[in-house]
Amino acid sequence: MPQAINVVGDNLTLDLILWRKYGVRGQALVEETMALNPDLRGPFLPVGAVVTLPDLPSEQTATREVVTLFG
């Protein structure tokens, strides 16, 4: 379920908010967040703006074949 947050600081960017909320995996959510918030403009978010953040997708673990060179 998407979460709405209020911007309370100066010079905050969308990618910084996503990084603080989700860590490194939040960088992949910038485009989805922009789609949820079409009224956001410019690199810095205005103080008092309400931003809807998407849910973090579940982490999928893919299996990889291991290749050994010496054995």
Total domain count, the chain: 1
What is the structure's pLDDT at 32? 94
Over residues 2-49, the pLDDT tens digits come to: 899 999 999 999 999 999 999 988 888 999 999 999 999 889 999 999
Q: 51 pLDDT exceeds 70? A: yes
Residue 68 lies in a domain: no
Instruction: Enter the tokens of residue 28.
Output: 């992949």
Residue 62 lies in a domain: no
pTM: 0.76
Residue 46 lies in a domain: yes
**Given pLDDT bands bounded at 50, 70 and 90, which one contains residue 61?**
low
What is the structure's pLDDT at 54? 94
Residue 59 lies in a domain: no
The predicted model gives 49-56 an average pLDDT of 93
| 40 within 8 A of 17, measured Cβ to Cβ | no
Task: Report how far residue 27's alpha carbon sits from residue 25's, in angstroms, rounded to the nearest whole number.
Answer: 5
Domain that holds residue 25: 3-53
